[in-house]
Amino acid sequence: MTELQRLLLAYDQHRADARPCALATVVEVLGSAYRRPGARMLVTDDGQLTGAISGGCLEGDARQRARQAIFRGQPALVTYDTRDEDDPRHGLGPGCQGVVRILLEPLDYAAPDNPMELLRGFAYHPEPAVLATVFEKDNATGLRAGVGQRLLLTANGDLRGLPTLATPLAEAAQATLAGGTSQVLEIETDAGPVRALLELLTPPLRVVIYGAGNDAQPLVRLAASLGWHITVLDGRPNLATAARFPEAAEVRVVPVAAIPQETPGDAYAVLLSHNYAYDLAALALHLPSPASYIGLLGPHAKATRLLAELNLSEDEIANLRTTRLHSPIGLDLGSETPEEIALAIVAEIQAKRHQRDGRPLRERADAVHAPVLALHDSFL
């Protein structure tokens, strides 16, 4: 289950119980922080928490401030400077050495476009989208637009949310969607400037696992815990069952002869069947697909034999081995047990997805997290 799914379940329960709650959202980070813009936490009027906005150091103070926002019925923007060793609010000492800004908003269950309902729209129709959130305005201009106004723009151009500043927010959201990176912008409007988080929302990673043996079970469990959308295929009806893979989104019996009729799409492929003919059919299916990751369990010799049967040129094979085909599958973690092998596979997929090489973080010269672009810091 993804973090968003957990938040929606909690939100629906609070609404059913008529329990007031607020949404805490990380809207801007300057420097280093545990969570990035877009991290969220629900807070009820009695202090119950769902989700996280930090590693645990900010939740206590944010809880109290969120309860105050519920009582007052007004949103609030709070800034935590974890570089301040004397700040008694969170007792961080040196902390993460960054500035974290959090928007706290009481939620109106009757509003069809409150932030949780906008996020529900993305969750139910997973396609790339941008959620634009106004979190600060220039009070000197007498700006009429309210903090907390939002707009959701989907990849097909649909808009939800009815903010006062719909046109400039929509234009900024469209640029963010095209650029593929979240950003914080100061947006000029007829009424004056506002500061907004343009958050790129991406669907869960789709992974297709060929093979429903016992070693696929810990892989599915671990991958599903990251919120990935998992499909398991196998030709053996006694193994390809939902009971054996309750965390998978889909489990299907697909004989080897039926694999060529599958539609691979751009899902990551993991070939884990321990069956040469099954792996060959799956590999042949995915090579011409847009999938950027094809992982094959087994030694180098097995991959060499499979590729030879597919009549590929030496250049094509060399390109596959250096780009899309990962065989033997997984990072070199010294894995032996099925659980350890699952960890190595998931770690490699995570690195591939984010274009990282899997090296220790202590060897990384750049920042651990890619910065969220922030322009025009005149509000700070």
- pTM score above 0.85: no
The pLDDT, as a whole number, for residue 380 is 44
CA 336/CA 334 separation, integer angstroms: 7
* Bond preceding residue 203 cis, omega within 30 of 0: no
The pLDDT, as a whole number, for residue 141 is 54
The pLDDT confidence band at residue 34, using thresholds 50, 70 and 90, is confident
CA 46/CA 187 separation, integer angstroms: 36
Smallest CA-to-CA distance from 157 within 139, 146, 168, 173 is with: 173
Q: Which of 60-69, 135-144, 288-297, 333-342 has the lowest mean pLDDT?
A: 135-144
